[in-house]
A and B are shown apart, each in its own frame.
Chain A
């Protein structure tokens, strides 16, 4: 599931970079694991390691509960991801209950968009992320002019 989000980011990193927006991914892997994982899937994404999950906690990202397991959205996302050829693997030593989230943060340090994944396989719509980036691009043009 995580692979699917990272691939989605990787496919759009060039688009964001062209608009002056950096793309970064925080993982629960150790640095060498993060390096290998990102090098294989998304060499242009800034890849970070946070095995103690302190950043996940600081950003108030929740964990899967029992209800999530029976959430139809979760199963629907699972089927979609499988249909695209992904094979969810073992979490290994990483926290299998940890959910993900995506934020767009401006240069003032303020959150411009926050998406908390509601269940396994939930991801933000790329169009929503791109709409914020487009808006930022327009502001930058105005600032330069």
Chain B
């Protein structure tokens, strides 16, 4: 795993799918307001 992101780094922008099945860019989450973005482990 390459070096971790830290404060001041640009957050990677890539496409993910929302819960309605629509493809969105992650950057749309922080375009108008800051975001707490949490990557979860499995559902179990």
- Residues of A at the B interface (CB closer than 8 Å) are 1-3, 5-6, 9, 16, 20-29, 31-35, 37-39, 46-50, 54-56, 58-62, 88-92, 94-96, 98-107, 109-114, 116-117, 120, 129, 133, 136
Contact = CB atoms under 8 A, between A and B. Distances in A.
B3 to A, nearest CB: 7
Chain B interface main SS type: loop
Contact of B6 (A20, A111, A117): A111
A130 to B, nearest CB: 10
B38 A95 contact: no
B28 to A, nearest CB: 10
Contact of B36 (A34, A92, A102): A102
Contacts of A28: 40-43
Contacts of A106: 30, 34
Contacts of A58: 12, 14
Contacts, number: 184
Nearest to A1: B41
Contact of A25 (B2, B21, B30, B38): B38
A136 B10 CA distance: 17
Tell me which of B8, B38, B40 has the highest count of chain A C-beta atoms within 10 A of its own C-beta.
B40
B36 A35 contact: no
A23 B34 CA distance: 9
**Sorted from nearest, which 5 A-B pairs have the closest CB atoms?**
A89-B44, A91-B42, A35-B19, A94-B42, A58-B12
Tell me which of A21, A107, A111, A133 has the highest count of chain B C-beta atoms within 10 A of its own C-beta.
A111
